[in-house]
Amino acid sequence: GQSLEQPSEVTAVEGAIVQINCTYQTSGFYGLSWYQQHDGGAPTFLSYNALDGLEETGRFSSFLSRSDSYGYLLLQELQMKDSASYFCAVFSGGYNKLIFGAGTRLAVHP
Amino acid sequence: EADIYQTPRYLVIGTGKKITLECSQTMGHDKMYWYQQDPGMELHLIHYSYGVNSTEKGDLSSESTVSRIRTEHFPLTLESARPSHTSQYLCASETGLGTGELFFGEGSRLTVL
């Protein structure tokens, strides 16, 4: 089977740094993606890691360790607009389909 | 800007009705997905397609069916809607070229009375 574990909630203040972890168990792993979803909106793509290491895109970075079946999303210089749910997702299986974790709700306070 | 469209955005219907949720993309993507999501909850994969005439059921059992007769079109049908089908349905497409990115539509929020 497949499973992804991530914290259900994280709280931080504006300007801070927050890390959202994701561990996964899956067969035929191809890569780890991260998505952001605001209430009432559709998920939007943030990053993708197929190889070990850190990928940086502006204030957001994502890390993957394939040997540890682990990744994280790092959000820096937090802003109020970063309050949203963040989902890790893995491409897996014979048809390389995308399976989502349960999501982490991030609340950014002044 | 993603070119993937879902209709209707909102639908309220009675039990037993047949409904079709439409999803179209103009990007020529081979892979398309349907996810079901309750408010504040995770996305459950219910159907996916990796090309014309190729569809597979996802990990969440669903009473819905899909078809993929054309690359750009991936409709989802419920033959007989029930209150348990009340949810948001999200359609997405992917290039399949290893970028890891899905493009999502705005979703169809279904309420079955």
Joined together, the tokens standing for residue A46 give: 């943030």
Using CA atoms, how far apart are residues B3 and B103, in angstroms rounded to an integer? Answer: 8
Joined together, the tokens standing for residue A101 give: 């974790």
Amino acid at the residue A67: S
Amino acid at the residue B107: G
Using CA atoms, how far apart are residues B9 and B107, in angstroms rounded to an integer? Answer: 6
Question: Does B33 touch chain A if contact means CB atoms closer than 8 Å?
Answer: yes
Question: Does A45 touch chain B if contact means CB atoms closer than 8 Å?
Answer: yes
CB contacts, 8 Å: A31 with chain B = 98, 100
Give A60-91 as a DSSP string. EEEEEETTTTEEEEEE-S--GGG-EEEEEEEE
- How confident is the model at residue B46, as a pLDDT? 93
Question: Does A105 touch chain B if contact means CB atoms closer than 8 Å?
Answer: yes
Closest CA to A11 of A3, A24, A20: A20
Question: Does A83 touch chain B if contact means CB atoms closer than 8 Å?
Answer: no
Say yes or no for a CB contact (<8 Å) between B48 and A95.
yes
B2 or A93: which carries more pLDDT confidence? A93
CB contacts, 8 Å: A30 with chain B = 98
Joined together, the tokens standing for residue B28 give: 């020529």
Joined together, the tokens standing for residue A35 give: 């998505």
Using CA atoms, how far apart are residues A49 and A29, in angstroms rounded to an integer? Answer: 11
Q: What is the pLDDT of chain B when averaged over all its residues?
A: 92
Give A22-38 as a DSSP string. EEEE-SS--EEEEEEE-
The residue among A32, A83, A100, A106 with the most chain B CBs within 10 A of its CB, best to mutate, is A100
Amino acid at the residue B55: T
pLDDT tens by residue, B15-70:
999 999 999 999 999 999 999 999 888 999 999 999 999 999 887 777 899 999 99
Which residues of chain A fall short of a pLDDT of 50?
none
CB within 8 Å of B105: residues ≥ 6 apart:
A42, B2, B4, B5, B6, B23, B90, B91, B92
CB contacts, 8 Å: A2 with chain B = 59
Amino acid at the residue A70: Y
- How confident is the model at residue A101, as a pLDDT? 92
- How confident is the model at residue B95, as a pLDDT? 82
Using CA atoms, how far apart are residues A97 and A109, in angstroms rounded to an integer? Answer: 35
**Exposure on the CB side of residue A13, measured as CA atoms within 13 A:** 1
Is the predicted pLDDT of residue B111 greater than 90, yes or no?
Answer: yes
- How confident is the model at residue B27, as a pLDDT? 93
Question: Does B89 touch chain A if contact means CB atoms closer than 8 Å?
Answer: no
CB contacts, 8 Å: A91 with chain B = 100
Joined together, the tokens standing for residue B113 give: 């009375």
- Judge whether A64 and A49 are in contact, CB under 8 Å: yes
Percent of chain B at pLDDT exceeding 70: 98
Residues 1-30 on B with a CB inside 8 Å of A are none
pLDDT tens by residue, A43-63:
999 999 999 999 998 999 999
- How confident is the model at residue B2, as a pLDDT? 60
Q: Kindly report the nearest CA distance between residue B70 and chain A, in angstroms.
A: 19
Among chain A residues, the shortest Cα distance to B102 is held by: A45
Say yes or no for a CB contact (<8 Å) between B101 and A97.
no
C-alpha A22: how far from chain center: 7
User: Where does the pLDDT of residue B105 fall: very low under 50, low under 70, confident under 90, or very high at 90 and above?
Assistant: very high
